[in-house]
Chains A and B, each alone.
Chain A
Amino acid sequence: MNIDDLTRTSGEWLRGTGPESDIVMCSRIRLARNLADFPFTNRAGRREKNEIEAAVAASIEQGKIELFVQDVNNLSNLDRQFLFERQLISRELRDAEGPRGVAFSPTEDVSVMINEEDHLRIQVMHSGLSLGSVWDRINYIDDRLEERLDYAFSPRLGYLTACPTNVGTGIRVGVLVHLPALVQTKQIEKVFRALQKINLAVRGLYGEGTQASGDFYQISNQQTLGKSEQDLIRNLSEVVPQIIQYERGARQALVGEQRRQYLHDQVSRAYGVLKTAHTISSEETMLLLSSVRMGINLGLIDDLEIPIVNELFIHTQPAHLQKIQGRILETDERNVARASYLRNRLSNGRHDPKNDG
């Protein structure tokens, strides 16, 4: 398996299955772990970072954990951006310097970043609202890694992390939700404020500090100390259904008697532009795909499936287009390539995606 193979597939978390998957794109948990016998990444020397990367890779191999280990330091900028768009590595790992890597499963549900802010950042993502199965999987991977790695741990403070905001469980429990109707009806700010009051963080699709794109938002816990993993998972699992209910309520208001035709018009125009445009920016694509995604879920579009739309959010990102085309493209060229890719994927009698581009 190598990076180029990934251009022909997509992560399992995009397949649009699992509970509430019309609104909850995926559930995600990450664990921060550090080796007890090395300085944290920001204080580790080059040689030490190499040793950390080797130790983690060895534990994966010897433990027969089915993960593909990819060095990130020697990758091209394009490949690093590709892994970032794919949600397999973070912005921080993409932009860092020095020895670092990522290990991921063939279905891309697991990714283990090496020498991020912490020595290990283990991540598991599953489609839909499925935090229970995500926890089972990540807990298992963590146990397997720990068989061969000495984790930094204190009985009082738990797993020790480079930043005290992660100390304790080192866990971040999150869901990626699609909230176009709450955005459109201008209720989203109210929801954010309510979430912040109960100590939950809201971020955009591509993590901290990014503008929410395509009406996707990640909602996650902030506290990591003093509550068990199960409690933190339960907290979020109890809040998400309320957000889902608000979004459904807002959608119903949008398709209510008087307004249905306006929404139907908006959705159909979005679909039409995506199917016929000859040049299109990333932002416009995200905006229109978001409308189309909601349109499918409301039964306003019936000849397109959710997994394809989910995949298009990722595959129309800049590095993905360039990997699919097999060459570096300037912004203008990318906009043309993006439109062509969209026309291909959305045309009636759709091509097998494997033969595209």
Chain B
Amino acid sequence: MTCQNCKREATVHVTEEINGKRREMHLCARCAREAGYDSVDDPPMFGLEGILQSFILAHVGEMVGELSRRFCPLCGLKFMDFRGQGRLGCPNDYAMFDHGLAPIVRRVQGASRHVGKIPARRGAAAAGLNRLKLRAQLRDAIEREDFEEAARLRDRLRPAEDDR
């Protein structure tokens, strides 16, 4: 079976039920990661961490169950990493884990919306997010030892930096 997004071999098969409707997805590892589904190849967790995680899953319910499978394709952080360390991995995590973070933010801050200073240059954060994605691809390329791709990505990152 091929991936429904690209033509690679599909290795991740997901069945989801959203609002009573069943949905099947067949994705390759890369597309699955980008869609926020953890690799099924990850070894199961044992020991205290696993026990803690199942405890959180059992007591915080389905939403966290889904969250626990999520991870940020841009920095690799899993929501469970955050539960353990209390630190996020990149600016994209706030959007990625919004469901899980929003109640935590509300509890520690007593508020959920920013009031106050905003950066003068609009769109800087969006441009930054694009480069964050390129950097994630660059890390992947280096890991795969695909140095041609890495060089190409570095070139794409460079002009953006010189523009500033």
Mutual binders A and B: yes
A contact set with B: CB distance below 8 Å: 34-40, 42-43, 45, 48, 55, 117, 139, 142-143, 146-160, 162-165, 167-169, 171, 223-231
Report the minimum CB–CB distance from A143 to chain B (whole Å): 7
Are B90 and A228 in contact, CB atoms less than 8 angstroms apart?
A: no
Bound Cα distance from A223 to B101, whole angstroms = 16
Docked complex: B92-132 residues within 8 A CB-CB of A: 94-95, 101, 104-105, 108-121, 124-125, 127-132
Contact partner of B129 (CB less than 8 A), chosen from A37, A142, A227, is A37
B87 adjacent to A163 (CB under 8 Å): yes
CB neighbours of B23 from chain A (8 A): none
CA–CA, A131 and B70, complex, Å: 43
8 tightest Cβ-Cβ pairs between the two chains A and B? A36-B128, A226-B111, A158-B114, A152-B91, A37-B131, A228-B116, A43-B89, A150-B128
Interface residues of chain B: helix, strand, loop or mixed (majority): loop
Residue of B nearest to A58 (CB): B164
What count of chain B residues pass the 8 Å CB interface test? 42
Q: Which of B87, B89, B90, B105 contacts A157 (CB 8 A)?
A: B105
- A48 near B135 with CB under 8 A, answer yes
Q: Check: B80 CB closer than 8 A to any chain A CB.
A: no
**Quick one: CB contact mask for B57-76 with A, threshold 8 Å, 1 for yes?**
00000000000000000111
Instruction: Answer whether A227 and B90 are a contact pair too, CB < 8 Å, given A36-B125, A167-B109.
Output: no
| CB interface residues, B 110-164, toward A, < 8 Å | 110-121, 124-125, 127-132, 135, 139, 161, 164
Across-interface contacts of A45 in B (CB, < 8 A): 139
Q: How far is the CA of A28 from the CA of B84 in the complex (A)?
A: 31
| Contacting pair B128 A143 (CB below 8 A) | no
Contacts of B127 in A (CB 8 A): 36-37, 150
B114 touches A155 (CB 8 A): yes
A14 to B132 CA separation, bound complex (whole angstroms): 41
